[in-house]
Structure 1
Amino acid sequence: MSRQSGRRPRARKARGASAVGRRFEAEVGSVAHGGHFVARVPAGADGEERVVFVRHALPGERVVLEVTDGTDGDRFWRADAVEVLTPSPDRVTAPCPYAGPGLCGGCDFQHVDLAAQRRLKADVVREQLRRVARLDVEVVVEAVPGDEAGLHWRTRQRYVPLPDGRRGMRKHRSHEVVEVDECLLEAPAGPSYDVEGRAFEVADGGFWQVHPGAPSALVGAVLEALRPQPGESVLDLYAGVGLFSRFLLEAVGPEGRGAAVEGDPAASALSATNCPGLLARPGDVAEVLAGGLPGAWDTADLVVLDPPRAGAKRAVVEQVVARSPRAVAYVACDPGALARDVAIFAEHGYRLASLRAFDLFPMTHHVECVALLEQQPA
């Protein structure tokens, strides 16, 4: 399952005078991966332009942008749109008073109509697959039941504690904190660990999808893609507590078999509890696969890959294709990592047969995809 990274950007060595605080008037171009939009501003007397990644904007708008990160020696800058001169038809008033330049950094798209948010996310997925994997794929980002017009879906929420019981949220790419009364993404209730009538045990603080509709949507997409048959063998990688393993084992039946690999030992142990008959192995996925699983468990007709944001990467992909599965379902929370790994699969004769995308993180730039990779005939 996808894991959100909590790492802060590393400090960079300054390469020239700081550009922070400079303002420019610019026309906004296309959406870019990461929740911002591309603009270009004059960089010097020679007429050369510099790329600026702008938050709080929309394609086609004319804005006043203020640089928030960058120096004269950088190839690109980051900025906020602090004034909108020509608004897009897709612009709306942000429902949250803490969304906007210099405020809470948790949401990228509160100023964007919800349907337009999904079109922007589809554009990013499509562009990453075109640029990195050289594929032209039609992408539609699907709404998922469980939120309220894009709000009240985070079943796990973290605030920064402040004195006197107050709380806050961090600014974008910063340790600075904005005091808030509430986050409008927070769900009224915590997570449910029941999925399609099956109960799962999850450790306190253990990973589970935060959108209430996510587990059912992802399980349905994986089963639809893989079409598991009785008697087949399945391999669930980055398996968490066994969400996909549970349903795949039911589908392949008593004549089939399933193995799961998960880096978190506690989650791996729970996957065995949640999925009777599952062979659960804790450890680094690439290392476990390279070492081999016992006997017949080391083969797989079907594979599920649900890596963290960095993706599976070459070592894992090559271990997967070495087992010659007929189909692989790749669950991805980062379109760039997905595109890179799809390209690696293509090197080994696996084609992208289908792709579904889900809006599991409304008001943010994040999007979840389920890609089906199938072995091409020799």
Structure 2
Amino acid sequence: MSRHPRARRQRGRSRVGERFEVEVGPVAHGGHCVARVPSSTAPDAPLRVVFVRHALPGERVVLQITEGTDGDTFWRADAVEVLEASPERVTPPCPFAGPGLCGGCDFQHVSLPHQRALKTAVVREQLARLAKIESDVEVEAVAGDLPEQLAGLRWRTRVSYVDLGDGRRGMRKHRSRATVAVDDCRIAHPDAREPAPGSVEEQVALGAGEHRFAVAADGFWQVHPGAPATLVSTVLEMLEPAAGERVLDLYAGVGLFARFLADAVGPEGEVVAVEGDRTASLHARTNLAGAPARVETACGDVAEVLASSYDEPFDLVVLDPPREGAKRAVVDAVVARSPRRIAYVACDPAALARDLGLLAERGYELKALRAFDLFPMTSHTECVALLEPANHCAPLR
């Protein structure tokens, strides 16, 4: 559940293991807070930025450098001792959370409401800094079916463990291949599955209907049980699809949005679902069979498919790109199709902000934005943005 860094060339003397007493600054994108420490013992030494995990803004802590050399522009660290604690600090509900332990969660030490406040601050900061957009968006809770999910636990329906042998399993440490033995992941759903070959079936029910989706057991599907219905209902509310409209669903996965949009546009409407993963695209074809609208699936890199196909106008576009965002070529292709509305589903606020900036340059304004806490105890957030042409004057509902 934790990514590990690529090996990189060391630039100067290592500072790993050194400790500093600091006052912690603001939260930053990525599950850490910002602090500054002297870069050397010289009296006039410049301050070095340090990204600190296991801390909270305003706390006084002792941090220990975990990555960094004299030649790096910033260092990474863990807060290994808390001298003055934030009132929002709590005892982590997971015994495997903390410095040097499992790297899967970023905010186990933070009260759940304040986790959402920190994520709200990150989303707003990314929009302001990268897209020059001031937003009052708030990260919203998504209720689960179990009491533990309301406390931020037992929500993750897919979990990857490391086989440690002798029947033991573990998780990776933060930015490392090293492991920690874990007997029970506290954010794992009671019925969580590990990735495996084959297919499974997922069910999504909305007020407008219910559909079942074939999904690769080791493929992409939202891991919070409340996520699919929350995201689909938000996209439908923002786009307000009308009978007979044409919809372009990009990075369509197994056809989650496309299937409900096909219901909305009806027999006179059309939905085109473009997905780069071959297995997901094949599943989308199965999942969209029997939909009331005319439906077409296309498998291939989204930018490449749009460069050669489907160049006619579309009324609505759904963008649900991977973490790195849609980027310039796809944004240009979308704008060229002159949609009246675009719904952008984003798992990374920085990538969202960059793409919103590109869309703004091309005449599409942000009209609405919602953010959901689909990944409690981690720093991740899912956003849904609505964009319309800048000269569109209809009131936002």
Matched, 1:281 2:283: no
What do the CA deviations read for 1:196-215 (whole angstroms, capped 9, x no partner)? 12111112312110000000
Query: Which residue number in structure 2 is paired with residue 89 of structure 1?
Result: 87
Which runs of 5 or more residues in structure 2 are unaligned? 194-200, 393-397
Q: Give the alignment partner of residue 386 of structure 2, picking from 369, 372, 376.
A: 372
Comparing 43-52 with 305-314, which one deviates more in the overlay? 43-52
Q: Which secondary structure state, in structure 1, belongs to the residue aligned with residue 298 of structure 2?
A: strand
Which structure 2 residues correspond to residues 45-64 of structure 1 after superposition, within 5 A?
A: 45=42, 46-64=44-62
Query: 5 Å matches for 1:1-378?
Result: 8-44=4-40, 45=42, 46-146=44-144, 147-190=149-192, 193-196=202-205, 197-275=210-288, 276=291, 277-293=294-310, 298-377=312-391
Cα distance, 1:148 vs. partner?
3.8
The structural deviation recorded for 1:284 is 0.2
The residue type paired with residue 169 of structure 1 is M
Give the deviation of 1:266 after TM superposition.
Answer: 1.7
Distance 1:278 1:87 in 2: 56
CA–CA separation in structure 2 for the residues paired with 1:201 and 1:174: 34
Q: Which amino acid aligns with 2:21?
A: E
Cα distance, 1:98 vs. partner?
A: 0.4
Change (3 A) 1:190 1:105: closer
Q: Cα offset for 1:299?
A: 2.6
Deviation at 1:73, TM superposition (A): 1.1
Amino acid aligned to 2:167: G
Report the alpha carbon displacement of residue 163 of structure 1 after superposing the two structures with TM. Answer: 1.6
CA contact (8 A) 1:234 1:301 kept: yes
SS at match of 2:387: strand
Preserved contact between residue 155 and residue 189 of structure 1 (Cα < 8 Å): yes
TM superposition score normalised by structure 2: 0.91
Question: Shift of residue 181 of structure 1?
Answer: 0.8
Q: Distance in 1 between matches of 2:94 and 2:217?
A: 29
Q: Is the 8 A contact 1:330 1:370 kept in 2?
A: yes
Aligned identity (percent) is 66
Q: In structure 2, give the amino acid aligned to 1:246.
A: R
Distance in 1 (alpha carbons) for counterparts of 2:233 and 2:391? 27
Unaligned 5+ residue runs, structure 1? none
Read off the aligned partner of 2:232 and give its amino acid letter. Answer: V
**Deviation per residue, 1:9-49 (Å, 9 max, x gap):** 21121111000000000000100000000001111311311
Q: Partners in 2 of 1:190 and 1:21 — Cα distance?
A: 37
C-alpha distance in structure 2 between counterparts of 1:376 and 1:267, whole Å = 34
Query: Can you list the C-alpha shifts for 1:99-143, whole angstroms capped at 9, x where unaligned?
Result: 000000000000000000001001000000000000101111111
Scaled by the length of structure 1, the TM-score of the pair is 0.96
Alignment partners' CA distance in 1, 2:5 and 2:139: 28
| Alignment partners' CA distance in 1, 2:320 and 2:338 | 18
Aligned with 2:157: secondary structure?
coil
Aligned partner of residue 9 in structure 1, secondary structure: coil
User: What is the rounded CA distance, in whole Å, between the counterparts of 2:46 and 2:252 in structure 1?
Assistant: 49
Measure, in 2, the Cα distance between the counterparts of 1:131 and 1:370: 19
Structure 2 Cα separation of the partners of residues 206 and 101 of structure 1 = 31
Partner Cα separation in structure 2 for residue 9 and residue 366 of structure 1: 18
Q: Does the 8 Å contact 1:123/1:139 carry over to 2?
A: no
Q: Which amino acid aligns with 2:82?
A: V
Deviation at residue 176 of structure 1 after TM alignment: 0.2
Query: Deviation above 4 Å: which 4+ runs of structure 1?
Result: none
Report the residue type matching 2:257 in the other structure.
F
CA distance in 1, matches of 2:110, 2:213: 36
2:100–2:173 contact (8 Å) kept in structure 1? yes
Query: Which structure has the higher relative contact order (CA within 8 Å, separation 6+)?
Result: 1
Q: Distance in 1 between matches of 2:49 and 2:116?
A: 24
2:188 is matched by which residue type in structure 1?
E
